[in-house]
Amino acid sequence: MFVDQVKVHLKAGKGGDGLVSFKHEKYVANGGPFGGDGGHGGNIIFEADPGMVTLLDLRYHRIIRAEPGEKGKNKRMHGATAPDTVIKVPLGTMIKKADTGQIIADLTEPGQRQIVAQGGRGGRGNSRFKSSRNTVPRYAEPGREGEEFDAIVELRTLADVGLVGFPSVGKSTLLEAVTKAKPEIGDYPFTTISPNVGVVQTKDGRSFVMADLPGLIEGASQGKGLGHQFLKHIERCRVIVHVIDMGGSEGRDPVEDYRIINQELENYHLRLLDRPQIVVANKMDLEEAQENLKRFKEAYPDLEVFETTTIIHEGLDPVLRKAADLLAVTPLFPLTDEKEEDEGVTYTFEEKEKPYTIVRHEDGVYEVTGRIIDEQFHPEKLTTDEDYFRFANQMRYLGIDKNLRAAGAKDGDTIMLQGYEFEFVEQ
């Protein structure tokens, strides 16, 4: 079973909590804070494995969690950092955030690794908070949560040359003839429902990877038939081999077939027609092939057409040599286009979100929200004056009091955090 897209839930490890501890040793008077820091949570890493060809493993493991870091220890000892969770995927795998569609990783090299979800930082122990003003801190920092989100893991076939064309034009037969790949071949449409890949070796010693891709139909760029499921696999190909049934064995017109397929390639969002294209007139042994070829050349006089009969391996060497020549001068194509960039859609790493936001609701009422507030503000832990002192220092360290003043907050105004109200005191 071929699986080329899976939605998974990723949860990186939480950082270990810092420890509140004090030095208690015989003959040592007034032992100070002695609690250590928590260990960092484990990352979730994706690694490209050349030995894998499908995402089938992920289909049955939709939730991926990394281990949490160890809590801090006595004697200022750090808790252990959790091991990373490594997920192996095939070459050509792309990982995107499910909500935004932004690419987090694009794994195209053997052994390439990418941290997809970052583990949380370990909390600091109470020994880290000792100062001249607070010589006996009785609090420690909790570990931070690791990143958690839904991701789309998508396999896009990694090939130099892609075979395109309507169903049953002979793409699978061509691939079998020039490589050791064994695609399913039949006398019915859509025999190929997933990409088949093989390595081509030309007679002059050059080699490249060729992919037989599922057949297109009219409207594929709008999702009809195999639609985008097919088109995304050609995005990485540098050269397109357009196979046409010149004999018209399926009752279609080769001239119209060529126009329709190129229209679908043009309509797709990554400008697939920018790639060099080799036109192959296949099934030239059929009765109407020569007449159709004459009409085709009249309709497209500037095209170079390679005549083949793939079932008997005839006329294939010129096609392979032409493909190798084009690959030598054709660069990689980006997985974005100018239209997407103009519309603000980017396939790059997501910018870091703001840690908090200050909103003014009405005169004298300000609300502070954001990730850092959710992580640092734990009202159930505010039980002593020391807890409030520590929390106030955190707010000051994060610059929240300064930004509240910049937003217009004055002495006596109300500050809201997670539904709790505080009075803003100017010092």
Domain 1-155 has CATH 3.40.50.11810: no
Find out whether 171 is annotated in a ligand binding site.
yes
* More confident call, 290 vs 341: 290
Q: Is 412 annotated as a binding residue?
A: no
Burial of 155 (0-12, 13-18, 19+ CB in 10 A): buried
Residue 229 has pLDDT above 60, yes or no: no
- Higher-pLDDT residue of 374 and 3 is 374
Residue 186 has pLDDT above 90, yes or no: no
In this model, does residue 353 exceed pLDDT 70? no
Task: Measure the CA–CA gap between 90 and 421, rounded to whole angstroms.
Answer: 52
The Cα 47–Cα 20 span in angstroms is 38
Q: Is 169 annotated as a binding residue?
A: yes
CA-CA distances (angstroms) from residue 408 to 360, 396, 402, 415, 427? Answer: 9, 16, 10, 12, 15
pLDDT average, residue stretch 25-38: 80
Lowest mean pLDDT among 118-122, 151-155, 320-324, 411-415: 411-415
Q: Which CATH class is domain 161-337?
A: alpha beta
Burial 53-74 (b: 16+ CB within 10 A, else e): bbbeebeeeeebbbbbbbbbbe
Indicate where the chain has its CATH 2.70.210.12 domain(s): 1-155
Please indicate if the annotation marks 232 as binding a ligand: no
Q: pLDDT tens across 238-266, in order?
A: 899 999 999 988 888 999 999 988 888 88
245 assigned binding-site residue: no
User: Who wins on pLDDT, 335 or 34?
Assistant: 34
Whether residue 414 is annotated as binding a ligand: the answer is no
23 is in an annotated binding site: no
Q: What is the pTM of this model?
A: 0.66
pLDDT tens for 89-103 read: 988 898 999 988 888
Range name among 67-76, 104-113, 205-214 with the lowest pLDDT average = 205-214
Beta bridge partners of 47: 88, 113
Q: Quick one: three-class SS letters along the chain?
A: CCCCEEEEEEECCCCCCCCCCECCCCCCCCCCECCCCCCCCCCEEEEECCCCCCCHHHHCCCEEECCCCCCCCCCCCCCCCCCCEEEEECCCEEEEECCCCCEEEEECCCCCEEEEECCCCCCCCHHHHCCCCCCCCCCCCCCCCCCEEEEEEEECCCCCEEEECCCCCCHHHHHHHHCCCCCCCCCCCCCCCCCEEEEEECCCCCEEEEEECCCCCCCHHHCCCCHHHHHHHHCCCCEEEEEEECCCCCCCCHHHHHHHHHHHHHHCCCCHHHCCEEEEEECCCCCCHHHHHHHHHHHCCCCCEEECEHHHCECHHHHHHHHHHHHHHCCCCCCCCHHHHHCCCCCCCCCCCCCCEEEEEECCEEEEECHHHHHHCCHHHCCCHHHHHHHHHHHHHCCHHHHHHHHCCCCCCEEEECCEEEECCCC
Residue 313: pLDDT band by 50, 70, 90 thresholds? very high
Q: Is 170 annotated as a binding residue?
A: yes
Handedness of CA 322, 328, 331, 332 (dihedral sign): positive
Domain ranges in the chain with CATH number 3.30.300.350: 357-423
Strand pairing category for 63-65 and 103-107: unpaired
Annotated binding residue at 186?
no
Dihedral pair phi/psi, residue 149, rounded to 5°: -170, 165
Per the annotation, does 276 bind a ligand? no
Is 168 known to sit in a ligand binding site? yes
pLDDT of residue 189 exceeding 60, the answer is no
Question: What does the pLDDT average to over 160-173?
Answer: 87
Indicate where the chain has its CATH 3.40.50.300 domain(s).
Answer: 161-337
CATH classification code of 357-423: 3.30.300.350
Q: What is the pLDDT of residues 55-71, one digit of tens each?
A: 888 888 899 999 999 99
**Whether the predicted pLDDT of 26 surpasses 90:** no
pLDDT over 50 (residue 299): yes
Report whether 50 belongs to an annotated binding site: no
Q: Is the pLDDT of residue 144 over 70?
A: yes
Spatial separation of the C-alpha atoms in residues 187 and 190, rounded to whole Å: 9
| 369 in a labelled binding site | no
pLDDT score of 419 more than 60 = yes
Say whether 172 counts as a known binding-site residue: yes
Does 21 count as an annotated binding residue?
no
Given pLDDT bands bounded at 50, 70 and 90, which one contains residue 11? Answer: very high
Residue 348: pLDDT above 60?
A: no
Q: Is 241 annotated as a binding residue?
A: no
Q: Binding residue per annotation — 208?
A: no
Is residue 68 part of an annotated ligand binding site? no
